[in-house]
Amino acid sequence: MPAVQETVERVKAIDVEQYKYGFETTIEMDKAPKGLNEDIVRLISSKKGEPEWMTEWRLEAFRRWQTMREPKWARVNYPPIDYQELYYYAAPKKNPAPKSLDEVDPEILKTYEKLGIPLREQEILAGVEGAGSRVAVDAVFDSVSVVTTFKEELKKAGVIFCSISEAIREYPELVRKYLGSVVPVSDNFFATLNSAVFTDGSFVYIPEGVRCPMELSTYFRINERNTGQFERTLIIADKGSYVSYLEGCTAPARDENQLHAAVVELIALDDAEIKYSTVQNWYPGDAEGKGGVYNFVTKRGDCRGANSKISWTQVETGSAITWKYPSCILRGDNSRGEFYSIAISNGYQQVDSGTKMIHLGKNTTSRIISKGIAAGRSENTYRGLVSAHRKASGARNFTNCDSLLIGDKCGAHTVPYIESKNASAVFEHEATTSKISDDQMFYCLQRGLDEEEAVALIVNGFVKDVLQQLPMEFAVEAQKLISISLEGSVG
Amino acid sequence: MLQINNLVVEIEGKRILNGLDLSVKAGEVAAIMGPNGSGKSTLSYVIAGKEEYEVLDGEILVDGENILELEPNERAARGVFLAFQYPLEIPGVSTMTFLKAIMNAQRKAREEAELTTPEFMKRVKAAAQELHIDQEMLRRGLNVGFSGGEKKRMEILQMALLEPRFCILDETDSGLDIDALKIVAEGVNTLRDPARAFLVITHYQRLLNHIVPDTVHVMANGRIVRSGGKELALELEASGYADYREQAA
């Protein structure tokens, strides 16, 4: 089992105090003053060279946000966030944006190297033709997209893959039509904040009938101290198109908590399919649970067209707090939504994550497979909603929610809501909670595995159904990450 | 090869092993027989290093080294293998994956190179064939949905692949029909080797018709109360354990 082998080596090499990705890159930042007001919103908009309508859109969101309160219903605890103590804009200094890799700040490239951004990507960044698999990276360094690759080839297929800022400038009609159409400006406290101050993110448009020729991938990284990270992603799959999108993240260690409030909107028109995969590995905090990332994300997909399909797969291992519910609105008849999740918590991490499947159209189907693993002193909650509208005849859902506990100081909770207003809807829910038993451990140890190898093996077996949903190479990385996350959970 | 001196063991304050002495030489097959509750399974767990047992006194020497302070996986790497009476299930982990993980873990602990996939496949195939284990079973989750007989054969398969120097079979005959018993016994007999020792724990003499022991030890109330050759097993079969219960008490 080479993957496990490698995992174990990586696990050994890591110490909670010296989080592998816990370093900072020293690059001069172009930073707006602390705090948030209309001037800051205007500044962000003007720094981005946005048209007037966008500035207004942001201001409306900001005004709305001022009337809203932070939601408190999730099973997470954290000290109050002072939103006036945060910076809302930071951009790497070497502007204007580089034309090629040579022009990219070598410090940034070094950061990628340390992160182990599989540098098959760097090869691709360097333009080595036919190097490994075909992955296009829109690398986000703090808030500004630094390098976008493979643009040319994608262009040939008619695919637009660029930063959201660029899209606002270059494709205003598309952005205006779809931005905020899945997650409205007033949706929730964090999404509204994001609408006001988002600084970057990705934009994808797949034209009618096009199967995107490669997997699209974005690496996020929070770098500047105290900079809230507000990503905005918008993906539109036009009729009969297909796209697979990968998102992966790491962040450096620091003392203050870092706020992250991203919004992701997916739109699938008739017969279109979007597959969105995430591996999230943000800094979870030190051994006492101090200093980790707060991750308040709104992710939602709209199966707007008939026979459309949206599939979310997530591997959540990082962050001190995770508040995240990638959801599907099944509007089109015969549309399908899927949610596959592995959520791992260790140390003092708190995870409140799940999904919503909103069945509106006829004969819509959804499937939820959630695997929660709690270790250390962490709390891990699955919160889900499956609902069928009056007109959603023939709606079907299957939900399977499994929790695995490691040790006796952690908690796993399952909070499923089911609402059906249509008598023909069929919803199934299965849930289990189990513990790695001492006998299982002893059995593995007796055969020569050490404790960490044994836990890694058992856990990888537990999450297998979900790992299989990830694109191949992502699955291998995820498997490593899972084992790293559980380091120190036994003994 | 194995030398146990004055082993005293408690679990939750209850004394199970009471000054047990036992010696097994390389190449020897030693049978341990005894009534239920005499401490047979405890002995096997303590040798393998299960945590909840408290060793109050004595030592367990494997090739002269006291292994009591070692972790179970360290003991495994030194060649101690326990075939479980009730093998555990590990859902989602295919048997193949598990076999490769344990073989490589032990090789690593002994600073040997990892097996290549073709070499691994070759070994598994050969060993599986011998034990009438089909390929389909190897793809399933380890022990998940296996019958009692399949689980026991899987234990012997692991034993064959790991090539341990000291093998403990804990009630391997329990729950086996006669055909399965023969297959398992044959698997064990092929592994008999001048450099390898076996400790065969059983309640009944039946298994010893197929795995013929060199020595037989009778255990009662946490110690060995009588030792002899293979004829001792037959004598027990005829007379039962009643005498020994009294003797130990």
The per-residue pLDDT string of chain B (249 residues; one tens digit each, 9 = 90 and over) reads: 999 999 999 999 999 999 999 999 999 999 999 988 899 999 999 999 999 999 999 999 999 999 999 999 999 999 999 999 999 999 989 999 999 999 999 999 989 999 999 999 999 999 999 898 998 999 999 999 999 889 999 999 999 999 999 999 999 988 888 888 998 899 999 999 999 999 999 988 889 999 999 999 999 999 999 999 999 988 888 888 877 765 554
Q: Does B111 touch chain A (CB under 8 A)?
A: no
Calculate the alpha carbon distances from A22 to A59, A76, A344, A456, B42 in Å: 35, 24, 19, 23, 47
pLDDT digits (tens, 9 = 90+) for A236-251: 999 999 999 988 755 4
Give the strands of the sheet with B54-62, arranged side by side.
Answer: B14-24, B2-11, B54-62, B65-66
Total domain count for chain A? 1
Half-sphere exposure of A370 (CA within 13 A, CB side): 33
A109-118 exposure pattern, b = at least 16 Cβ within 10 A, e = fewer: bebbeebebb
Q: Is there a domain that residue A15 lies in?
A: yes
Report CB contact under 8 Å: B104, A464: no
For residue B204, how many other CB atoms are within 10 A of its CB? Answer: 14
Cβ distance of A464 and B92 shorter than 8 Å = yes
Nearest to B93 among A2, A445, A457 (CB): A457
Q: Is residue A272 part of a domain?
A: yes
Pairing relationship of beta strands B215-220 and B223-228 according to DSSP bridges: antiparallel
Contact between A448 and B73 using a beta-carbon 8 Å cutoff: yes
In single-letter form, the type of residue at position A374 comes to A
In whole angstroms, what is the distance from residue A273 CA to residue B5 CA? 69
CB contact under 8 A, A440 and B88: yes
Domains along the sequence of chain B with CATH:
2-248 (3.40.50.300)
Residues of chain A with pLDDT under 50: 1-23, 27, 93-98, 119-134, 141-147, 220-227, 251-255, 491
Q: Which amino acid is at B25?
A: K
What's the pLDDT score for residue A231? 87
How far off is chain B from A374, nearest CA to CA, in Å? Answer: 18
3-state helix, strand, coil in chain A (%, to 5): 25, 35, 40
Helices (H), A290-329: none
Distance from CA of A311 to the nearest CA of B (A): 23
Q: Domain for residue A491, yes or no?
A: no
The answer to whether B27 contacts chain A (CB < 8 Å) is no
The reply to whether A490 falls in a domain is no
Beta bridge partners of A210: none
Contact call for residues A179 and A265 (beta carbons, < 8 A): yes
E strands, A198-272, are: 202-206, 215-221, 232-237, 242-250, 258-260, 263-268
What residues make up the domain containing A73?
A: 2-485
User: A458 vs chain B: nearest CA distance in angstroms?
Assistant: 7
Residues of A in contact with B89 (CB under 8 A): 440
Instruction: Answer whether residue A277 is part of any domain.
Output: yes
Residue A146: inside a domain: yes
Other C-beta atoms within 10 Å of A79: how many? 6
d(CA A264, CA A199): 13
Distance (Å) from the alpha carbon of A378 to chain B's nearest alpha carbon: 24
* Residue A2: strand, helix, or coil: helix
**Given an 8 Å threshold on Cβ–Cβ distance, is A445 in contact with B76?**
yes
Residue of A nearest to B71 (CA): A445
E strand or H helix that includes residue A8: helix A2-13
SS3 for chain B is CEEEEEEEEEECCEEEEEEEEEEECCCCEEEEECCCCCCHHHHHHHHHCCCCCEEEEEEEEECCEECCCCCHHHHHHCCEEEECCCCCCEEEEEHHHHHHHHHHHHHHHCCCCCCCHHHHHHHHHHHHHHCCCCHHHHHCEECCCCCHHHHHHHHHHHHHHHCCCEEEEECCCCCCCHHHHHHHHHHHHHHCCCCCEEEEEECCCHHHHHCCCCEEEEEECCEEEEEECCHHHHHHHHHCCHHHHHHHC
Residue-level pLDDT at B69: 94
Residues of B within 8 A of A4 (CB-CB) are 101
Closest CA to A313 of A403, A219, A244: A244
Structure tokens at A216: 């699209």
Tokens of B108: 């690593």
Contacts with A, B 84-103, CB within 8 Å: 84, 87-93, 97-98, 100-102
In chain A, residues with a C-beta closer than 8 Å to the C-beta of B87 are 443
Q: Using CB atoms, pick whichever of A442, A449, A463 lies closest to residue B102.
A: A449
B72 closest CB neighbour out of A437, A445, A458: A445
In one letter, which amino acid is A97? A
> How far is residue A109 from each of residues A15, A93, A217, measured CA to CA in Å?
25, 15, 17
Distance in angstroms (rounded) separating the CA atoms of residues A456 and A435: 14
Helix (H) or strand (E) run with residue A431 in it: strand A426-435
Question: How close A451 comes to chain B (CA, Å)?
Answer: 9
B242 touches chain A (CB under 8 A): no
Any idea what the Cα angle at residue A195 is, between residues A192 and A198, rounded to 5°? 130
Kind and range of the H or E run holding A149: none
pLDDT tens-digit readout, A299-348: 999 999 999 999 999 998 888 899 999 999 999 999 999 999 999 998 89
B48 at A interface, C-beta within 8 A: yes
- The reply to whether omega before A213 is within 30° of 0 (cis) is no
CB B216 within 8 A of CB B233: yes
Hey, is A191 helix, strand or coil?
helix
Task: Please give the interface size between A and B, counted as residue pairs whose CB atoms are below 8 Å apart.
Answer: 85
* pLDDT (0 to 100) of residue A301: 97
How many C-beta atoms lie closer than 10 Å to residue A76's C-beta? Answer: 18
